Chain A
Amino acid sequence: MRFVIIPQHDLPLVHLMLFFEASPTLDPPGREGLTALTNRMLLRGTNRLDRRGIEDAVEDLGTELLTATQSYGLGIGGVVLSRHLHTFTALLGEVLTAPAFEQTELEKVKREMMADLEAVLDEDGPLSRIWFRRTVFGDHPLARGAMGTPESLAAITRDDVIAHHRRLYTKRHLIVSAAGDVQADVAEDLVRQALSTLPDGDEHELSLPPMTPVEGRRVTLIHRPDRSQHQIVLGQPCIEAGHPDVIPMGLATIGFGGTFTSRLMQEVRVKRGWSYGAYARLAPERNGGLYMMTAAPDRSQCIGTLALLFDEFQNFVEQGLEDAEIEFAREHMIRAHVFATETASLRVAQRVRALLLGRPADFADRYIELISAPTTDEIRASVRRHLDAGGLEVVMVCTVDDDLLAEVSAMEGVSEVRVRQPRDFLVKSTS
């Protein structure tokens, strides 16, 4: 059990979140979705209280118990009035150490998750991002979403959930984060007491096979009828959060497409008005990561926007940003860091995130020093080292017709164009 606690007493609130080092990549083959399902099942009743009983007991305190399943960890907790912290912590302990995993609730949660998967079909933005993850990672375990597929969810049994719970929710993998109106020793004592029966646990195997680079510009068109605007996501696999180059890569990305004055925003939005937003993002995970760009142009401007994104990316990788652009991004990041440290809960979140992502323990404390260190040449070199100007996976949620197909196919460097229906991602293979 590790504790990250920072008191702050100006408001009568405590942020208490428990994080377990785990990942949906731990889902057994054919049981994809098990990690997220198990996490949700924690809120569905204990040996003492049924689901309604837990919901009422928590919300009587004026708060909610929330769970989250991320690629790098599982979270459960909430924000509570400090006068209710004792009761809240005891309830948190109860749901973690004595869940009932009742069969009827299990079936309900499975149907709930299937409905959530279906709901994504109607939202172009989330749909484009899910499809992008599937296509860019291909057969790699990172292609799996946390939610599984209808088929894999249906296969999960109560015994699977019980065993997975025993494996995931252990003292060894627990990071306790608390911030706000509580003394550190009080918070620590409360949590230790509430979780005293949690098992110690065994080491997880979280390492993953290497990712496969993208060859050429591969385009997947996800057909939705009657779209007047197209959602574009493009990018490639990239470095993990603990990689020494994550700082220079992050700096370059802010300069390229991370602020309003960055290149992408200026070229796509300010100069041409082609999209409300145009961004680049480095999304490093514990194992592996993504480099991605996004834009949402009008249908008539989508080929022009895609061509512009291709050109800008190629130029970014091969020529690199100007020194002035890099120094601008660096100054912005250094000075904006104050916002990430404004409250105790933000400072705690930074530290916990670093731990979960496998970053050095002093990453948050040394952030300014780390950002200040790389030279502009080193930054450009890291971009060339980790990004391939010619290899881009492109997903576009759009209304597909013959003209669009022909235009995309004729674009420079495009090696493959596929058309898919939105719901194809609900089956395991998308190739």
Chain B
Amino acid sequence: MTIDRYRLHNGLEVLHQQSDRTALVSYQTWYRVGSSDEKPGKTGIAHLFEHLMFKGTYTVPEGEFDRRLEALGGRVNAATWLDWTYYYEDVPSDALAEVVRLEADRMANLRLEPAPFAAEREVVLNERRERVDNDPHGLLSELLWNNVFPTHPYGQPTIGWMKDIEAITLEDCLEFYDTYYAPNNAVVVVAGDVDRHRLEAMLLDAYGGLQAKEIPQRLRVEVAAQTQSRRVEQPLPLSADRLLMGYAAPSAMDADAIALEALNEIVGEGDSARLQRALVTEGELASGFYSSMPLISQSGVFEIAVDMRSGHPAERAEEVILDILASISKDGVTDAELQRAVNKLETRFYRGLQTAQQRAQSIGYWEVTTGDFRRMFAFADRYRELTVDHVVEASRRLLSPERRNVVIGRAGATAS
């Protein structure tokens, strides 16, 4: 897969993966700003602002952005996380020029008015109610990350605390826009049916007149070393307990991240995984669970979430998880388990490259998370170099009992 990389005179970075297999294009704009850039008391502003980017500009009235792109057959959306905010438009390739014009326009000419701002803030409050306050997993996950990162901005929820969202003003948003939205703080990723010459001409035409800005240095905060486990219990109106466990993990740039990815496959992915058997299939303690090891810029989280079966306390799953990690520290993993994990990671890697949208997303994610999209391919190559010793040593050092954070959603709470 060939990916062109170049930069316009105003600092706009472009990554382009051409494919003429189907007449469509995925166009993504990744801004290097996310919830970890937020000031205290202003949590949620990066995400709320992402919503406001659809509210119109001085030349494109409110609603027109979506209307024009949907008329062209486009799929349009956006997302915000710790270190980035990204906007995507998947369109038939003959609609690309319109996408480029609209994205460049809202990078510099957004128009924010009080009434649409107030309505959109209400939408975000409802989004929080749906995804966090009334969703047991969302609520417990928020608690877990807050515990894993008590002094790091990653511990603040991307959607924001309710009271902070309610307090965000239009002026706050205008300041946020003025500070972070500029060509030199963005990466445009294009995958699909457009050639380099045509793309570059469109980009120059649309973005060429935009000025670079002084972008604040990003905050990098050390994750405080954890020497004692932490626990939180939250009573919830559930029919069975839930358990979340999390460990601060290495950043995406760290060689240990690959080892923990492989370990995640061994303990948590698929029917043959150790936790699946011990918690669900054979142990019959849980109705389901998942584990994940997301690759993040400053620090990751090795996370396990378990939905207990009725009558089994969450502590029972915690014991099982601790036992499995202890047995890996003591007895290691087998060569067969590691090879299976490497094969699964290889399959997963290719599965993430099937559509233009997936390719653009992978390229953009790796570029803004690690500073160089090519790490995505290097990472895949390094799966095959993994050794049992590396995986076991990383598990022993990073997933030791005193480094765990435990959040229990305790079943049985009733209406207050």
Interface residues of chain A, those whose CB is within 8 Å of chain B, are 10-13, 43, 51-52, 55-56, 58-65, 79-81, 108, 111-112, 115-116, 118-119, 121-124, 224-229, 259-261, 266, 269-276, 296-298, 328, 331-332, 334-339, 341-343, 345, 399, 423
Contacts and interface: CB of A to CB of B under 8 A. Distances in A.
B416 to A, nearest CB: 7
Contact of B63 (A56, A64, A270, A296): A270
Given A64-B271, A273-B121, 11 more contacts: A13-B351, A56-B336, A60-B339, A79-B351, A81-B346, A116-B287, A122-B239, A225-B413, A228-B129, A273-B123, A276-B127
A-B pairs with the 8 shortest C-beta distances? A335-B73, A62-B343, A273-B122, A225-B415, A115-B287, A229-B129, A336-B73, A273-B119
B310 interface: yes
A115 B343 CA distance: 31
Nearest to B192: A342
Interface stretch (B79-87, B353-361, B390-398): B353-361
A261 B119 contact: no
A229 B66 contact: no
A276 B281 CA distance: 37
A334 B73 contact: yes
Contact of B284 (A51, A108, A119, A226): A108
Interface of B: 21-24, 63, 66-67, 70-76, 90, 92, 95, 118-123, 125-127, 129-130, 133-136, 237-240, 270-272, 277, 280-282, 284, 286-288, 307, 309-310, 336, 339-340, 342-347, 350-351, 353-356, 413-416
Contacts of B343: 60-63, 81
Given A63-B347, A338-B92, A112 B280 contact: yes
Contacts, number: 183
A229 B346 contact: no
Contact of A122 (B118, B136, B336, B340): B136
Contacts of B136: 122-123
A225 B129 contact: no
A343 B354 contact: yes
A342 B240 contact: no
Contacts of A332: 70-71, 73
A51 B281 CA distance: 10
Given A273-B120, A342-B356, A336 B75 contact: yes
Give chain A's interface secondary structure class: mixed
B346 A62 contact: yes
Contacts of A339: 24, 73, 75, 90
B126 A260 contact: no
A12 B350 contact: yes
B134 A229 contact: yes
A261 B62 CA distance: 11
A64 B270 CA distance: 6
Contact of A342 (B22, B239, B282): B22
Nearest to A341: B22
B271 A55 contact: yes
Contact of B414 (A43, A80, A118, A225): A225
Contact of B309 (A65, A115, A227, A343): A115
A106 to B, nearest CB: 13
B350 A13 contact: yes
B354 A43 contact: no
Given A43-B271, A225-B415, A335 B76 contact: no
B339 A11 contact: no
Contacts of A343: 22, 354-355
Contact of A224 (B71, B122, B237, B282): B237
A423 B63 CA distance: 42
Contact of B355 (A63, A118, A337, A342): A342
Given A11-B353, A343-B354, A273 B126 contact: yes
Contact of B270 (A55, A261, A423): A55
B356 A259 contact: no
Given A226-B237, A260-B76, A276-B127, A62 B71 contact: no
A226 B413 CA distance: 9
Contacts of A51: 281
A122 B309 CA distance: 12
Contacts of A399: 415
A227 to B, nearest CB: 6
Contacts of B351: 13, 79
